[in-house]
Amino acid sequence: MSRYDYDLFVIGAGSGGVRAARVAAGCGAEVAIAEEHRVGGTCVIRGCVPKKLLAYAAHFHEDFEDARAYGWSVDNARFDWPTLIASKDKEIDRLNGIYKRLLSESGVALIEARAVLADPHTIEIAGKRITADTILISTGARPVLPDEPGFDLGITSNEAFYLSDLPRRVVVAGGGYIACEFAGIFNGLGAEVTQLYRGEQILRGFDDDVRDTVAAEMRKKGIDIRVRTIIARTEKTAAGLAVTLSDGSCLDADAVMHAIGRRPNTANMGLKESGVDCGADDAVIVNEYSQSCVPNVYAVGDCTNRLNLTPVAIREGHAFADTVFGKNPTAVDHHTVPHAVFSQPPVGVVGLTEAAARLIHGAVDIYRTSFRPLKHTLSGRDEKTMMKLVVDRASQRVVGAHMVGLDAPEIIQTLAIAVKMGATKQQFDQTVAIHPTAAEEFVTLRTPLPEPEKKAAE
């Protein structure tokens, strides 16, 4: 008989924690999981899923406009924010119920309360102490807040999903994927949007052609993107909010959204007191098997700040359970992971950027195209799709694929298989195109771009 209450105790019932708990239970372990908010975590409750539902809603105004060129008359179309939020809430409630049912059917005990570590084998929760042989931390991350005067008058992505009304004027602070996605959502639903970013160009870390294309297309849609600019202070006024910027100018707004980053949600959990090492960013430091410096304490997902994507957290959770309870040591490969930005237009990416490929491989061949999608030859909309392949010249392997445009995430998901398998440019060329599609461009690109001119030494 075990000297512990449970074989595994999971703190955090997001996608990674739920997967780990269910797989471990399937291996015969006695498992409990704690969640202080709603089961499903950031992605299901206040992230990927509700955000994409809002992104769908934001795109309809263009669909209505474009339909006229195809013979459709869409008269008196109007948008109602409360209806959208109610529909979104209904779907999130449904998913929350599914996650709870999956845990129950797997034999995992769910405790809906905050849990903290008392020591490496003891959890304090709801005034009780529970012991476990193995503990898994899967508490995700939370939005970072700035420290300028009046920052508390703003909201984050968490609150954006529950606004009672659609703000007419929105200032979005940040240049990452969350900032770009919400700028597109608010703009598409009819708000006047200004997006601020301290750097030279939005979407830092993405390929430069992706960054430039997204910024250009967002500006075409009416989003006022201001780079090298941040908020200096925010003040409440009779008409809403007055936002003073770092360049001295002032904006009137009804809402200010802070999307300047996320930080591992590990504070005040007893980790340090229990001997678990965390980095300067509060991330739990783990090895390739998600094991911390305390042998029986593991961590997966955004709280480790490795690659903060829901499918990666799920894979890490599954690998942890396979390693510890399935007796099948499994390390997660964090390389060549496809990802998307559900901006307007969306982005799909897998593999290396051009800059990274040049650093790693030296000589590379770049294939790139930009064109108006067939859909817009009738609608007349001035929107471009950009596609790009990055090829290691020596081996001719395609080491990066990048797309901005309609259906980019759907197209890149399938293309990621080829890139992950090490497909060559010749194999891409030998693949017959499906015509007429945008995706066919990835297998019909034939002429590499000229080598960029080297800058003269200063």
For residue 52, CA distances in Å to 49, 87, 409 come to 5, 13, 12
| 408 CA to centre of own chain | 15
Side-chain-facing half-sphere of 92: CA atoms under 13 Å:
25
Using only C-alpha atoms, the chain has a radius of gyration, in whole angstroms, of 24
What gap in Å lies between CA 172 and CA 224, rounded to an integer? 10
Query: Could you confirm whether 435 is annotated as catalytic?
Result: yes
What gap in Å lies between CA 67 and CA 375, rounded to an integer? 10
Of 219, 231, 228, nearest in space to 183 by CA: 219
For residue 165, CA distances in Å to 80, 182, 255, 265 come to 9, 15, 11, 29
CB 137 within 8 A of CB 14: no
Choice among 37, 258, 376, 435 that is catalytic: 435
What gap in Å lies between CA 368 and CA 386, rounded to an integer? 7
Q: Which two tokens stand for residue 316?
A: 């890490």
The secondary structure of residue 260, as a DSSP letter, is S
Q: Which residues are catalytic?
A: 435
